[in-house]
């Protein structure tokens, strides 16, 4: 295999600018070779800034036919994740797709099947797995110091997509986004608590509302109760109306104490133990790749190294589908007023 993986970025909006493109630009095993956006100028600006001479497209179908592209990042509205990922896989390209990976479980499975048939890597950018506090929290929980996880409470909220992606009008249109806050933010926490606990969610009840984003036809708030296969229960929330700093935290109440994750900005990971009684403030691991202009998560680098066989994918298509199914269950529970068991009545 080539020493460098040649990357095509499909969609050059906020998430591509803040995560995907800088990650690839700073990955020694990657080469940005093509950019695609319906707005030619936007793709052209990204090419000029990060990879002068790279090909620029306005049609993703032409990009995936480019022989100078080995892999793609799909950074498009949710409704396009499935069709573009499948088309890229069928063209022999490895795929890193933004979350939520698809708009239905059936579509997610088609993506997985297409990647397997083409023998390419399919990864989902469930990037909360990569934040230093979350990586350390996984290490602490796996150590057994806290004992069995008995209850989980996770929340992700901010004031809305317009605050960080002013041109991203698609977030508020059901035909483009399919979901609102419940999948934009809720799928992050659904995936994170699965990742941290190693447990699968088997039942969900939920309320979903549009309380403030009246210019949209998708939800802006989710409150749900979840049940894991071993009987552990918990709460999962997402909001586009969380203002004054937002919310991005997780509590894990365990047999020997509580782990607080990103509850306090100056102490991102704190364990309160009961036997022996003590408080542990954990040091954070270094960022995976610390550089200006990005979140330093190195998601793109992880994707490239997975293609090269140097490390396992941080979130496979199968894992992305399981987290999506939690959100689909929450949606159905809110619509029906009844709890929904995963694996039944999927859309």
Q: What is the pLDDT of residue 99?
A: 98
Could you tell me if 95 and 125 are in contact, meaning their C-beta atoms sit under 8 angstroms apart?
A: no
Please give the average per-residue pLDDT across 234-253, as a whole number: 96
pLDDT > 60? residue 1? no
Give the DSSP per-residue string, 206-228: EEEE-SS-TT-SS-SEEEEEEEE
Bridge partners, 340 (sequence order): 204
Q: Is residue 144 part of a domain?
A: yes
In this structure, the answer to whether residues 94 and 230 fall within a common structural domain is no
In this structure, the answer to whether residues 103 and 179 fall within a common structural domain is no
Q: Is residue 84 part of a domain?
A: yes
Closest to 224 in 3D by CA, of 329, 345, 342 = 329
Please give the average per-residue pLDDT across 10-18, as a whole number: 95
In this structure, the answer to whether residues 267 and 306 fall within a common structural domain is no
In this structure, the answer to whether residues 83 and 221 fall within a common structural domain is no
In this structure, the answer to whether residues 17 and 111 fall within a common structural domain is yes
Q: Is residue 347 part of a domain?
A: no
What are the tens digits of pLDDT across the range 47-64?
999 999 999 999 999 999
Distance, CA of 208 to CA of 136 (rounded, Å): 32
Q: How many domains does the chain have?
A: 2
Q: Is residue 292 part of a domain?
A: no
Domain that holds residue 76: 5-127+297-314
Residue 128, C-beta contacts closer than 8 angstroms, at least 6 positions apart: 134, 188, 189, 191, 192, 195
Q: Is residue 19 part of a domain?
A: yes
Residue 339 in tokens? 């709890």
Q: Is residue 110 part of a domain?
A: yes
In this structure, the answer to whether residues 335 and 190 fall within a common structural domain is yes
Q: What is the pLDDT of residue 2?
A: 56
Q: Is residue 291 part of a domain?
A: no
Residue 315, C-beta contacts closer than 8 angstroms, at least 6 positions apart: 123, 124, 125, 126, 129, 191
In this structure, the answer to whether residues 157 and 255 fall within a common structural domain is yes
What are the tens digits of pLDDT across the range 286-341?
888 777 767 889 999 999 999 999 999 999 999 999 999 999 999 999 999 999 99
pLDDT, averaged across the chain = 95
- Token pair 């409704």 is found at 79
Please give the average per-residue pLDDT across 16-35, as a whole number: 95
What are the tens digits of pLDDT across the range 95-130?
999 999 999 999 999 999 999 999 999 999 999 999
In this structure, the answer to whether residues 144 and 94 fall within a common structural domain is no
Question: In angstroms, what CA-CA distances link 279 with 144, 234, 248, 270, 273?
Answer: 16, 23, 22, 7, 6
Please give the average per-residue pLDDT across 217-235, as a whole number: 97
In this structure, the answer to whether residues 145 and 72 fall within a common structural domain is no
Q: What is the pLDDT of residue 323?
A: 98
In this structure, the answer to whether residues 204 and 270 fall within a common structural domain is yes
In this structure, the answer to whether residues 52 and 103 fall within a common structural domain is yes
What are the tens digits of pLDDT across the range 194-215?
999 999 999 999 999 999 998 8
């Amino acid at each position: 295999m080539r020493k460098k993986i040649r990357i095509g970025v499909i969609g050059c909006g906020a998430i591509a600018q803040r995560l995907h493109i800088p990650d690839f630009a700073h990955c020694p095993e990657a080469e940005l070779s093509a950019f695609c956006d319906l707005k030619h100028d936007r793709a052209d600006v990204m090419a000029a800034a990060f990879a002068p001479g790279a090909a620029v497209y306005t049609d993703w179908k032409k990009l995936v036919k480019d022989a100078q592209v080995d892999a793609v990042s799909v950074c498009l509205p949710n409704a396009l994740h499935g069709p573009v990922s499948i088309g890229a896989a069928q063209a022999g390209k490895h795929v890193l797709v933004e979350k939520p990976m698809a708009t239905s479980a059936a579509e997610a499975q088609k993506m997985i099947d297409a990647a397997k048939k083409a023998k390419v890597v399919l990864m989902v950018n469930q990037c909360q797995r990569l934040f230093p506090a979350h990586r350390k929290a996984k290490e602490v929980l796996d150590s057994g110091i806290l004992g069995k996880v008995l209850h989980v409470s996770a929340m992700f909220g901010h004031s809305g997509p317009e605050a960080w992606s002013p041109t991203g009008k698609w977030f508020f249109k059901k035909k483009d986004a399919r979901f609102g806050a419940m999948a934009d933010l809720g799928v992050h926490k659904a995936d994170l608590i699965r990742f941290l606990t190693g447990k699968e969610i088997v039942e969900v009840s939920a309320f979903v509302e549009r309380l403030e984003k009246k210019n949209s036809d998708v939800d802006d708030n989710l409150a749900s109760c979840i049940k894991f296969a071993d009987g552990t229960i918990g709460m999962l929330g997402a909001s586009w109306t969380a203002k004054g700093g937002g919310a991005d935290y997780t509590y894990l109440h365990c047999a020997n104490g509580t782990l607080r994750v990103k509850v306090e900005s100056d102490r991102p990971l704190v364990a309160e133990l009961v036997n022996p009684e003590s408080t542990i403030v954990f040091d954070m691991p270094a960022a995976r790749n610390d550089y200006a202009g990005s979140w330093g998560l190195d998601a793109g680098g992880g994707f490239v190294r997975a293609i090269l066989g140097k490390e396992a994918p941080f979130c496979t298509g199968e894992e992305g589908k399981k987290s999506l199914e939690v959100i689909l269950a929450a949606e159905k529970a809110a619509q029906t007023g009844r709890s929904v068991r995963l694996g039944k009545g999927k859309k």
